[in-house]
Amino acid sequence: MAACTEFTCSHCAFKVEAWDDGNRYLTDQDGKRHYFYHPGDLTEMRAFAEAQMGGVMTEADYLAFLHERCGNEGDWLCLKCGCQRRRDPKRDPMQCPNCGQQKLRGTDKLEGRTCPKCGKGTFHGEMTAVS
Ligand SMILES: [Zn+2]
Ligand SMILES: [Zn+2]
């Protein structure tokens, strides 16, 4: 179950979508991220872990694997230049790759913020979809 809130600028109608559940991933040996979504994500994550480790894992092994390799990327908006990026705040540098400012803000926390596109309006959120 994921809910979507759409934030719209009161001045220029710039829109940003915010999903409440993020993008869960596991990293492989090379550090590459593999994403897992509903439904089937739990069994797929387990199968991925066992494929990575080369065999059936105990519960304790699996939990240790998750602790080391599991993360969740949220959607972030740069309040300086308006570009959107996926970031895991626990692992990724929270700096905008486009303008270099540390102005990234979670897209679910845009209510009342000044729009970076026009610099005049503010965002107002409305729940639009549940999938
Ligand atoms: Zn605007
Ligand atoms: Zn930026």
Q: Is 55 left (phi over 0), alpha (psi -120 to 50) or beta?
A: left
Ligand 1 center from residue 82 Cα (angstroms): 10
Ligand 2 geometric centre to CA of 79 (Å): 7
Q: Which domain holds residue 38?
A: 3-130
Neighbours of ion ligand 1 (CB under 5 A): 9, 11-12, 14, 115, 117-118, 121
Helix axes 41-53, 59-69, angle to 10 degrees: 90
**Ligand closest to the CA atom of residue 116:** 1
Residue 16: predicted pLDDT: 96
Render pLDDT for 93-112 as a digit per residue (tens, 0 to 9). 999 999 999 999 999 999 99
Per the listing, tokens 């939990």 go with 63
Domains: count for the chain: 1
Please give the distance, rounded to the nearest whole angstrom, from the Cα atom of residue 100 to the centre of ligand 2.
6
Residues 6+ apart with CB under 8 A from 98: 78, 81, 83
CA dist 84 and 105 (Å) reads: 10
Would you say 55 and 44 are in contact if contact means Cβ atoms under 8 Å apart? Answer: no
Kindly indicate the confidence band of residue 131, based on its pLDDT and cuts at 50, 70 and 90: low
DSSP character at residue 92 = S
Q: Average pLDDT of 74-100?
A: 95
Distance CA 130, CA 5 (A): 9
**Predicted pLDDT at 92:** 95
Q: What is the mean predicted confidence (pLDDT) over 89-94?
A: 94
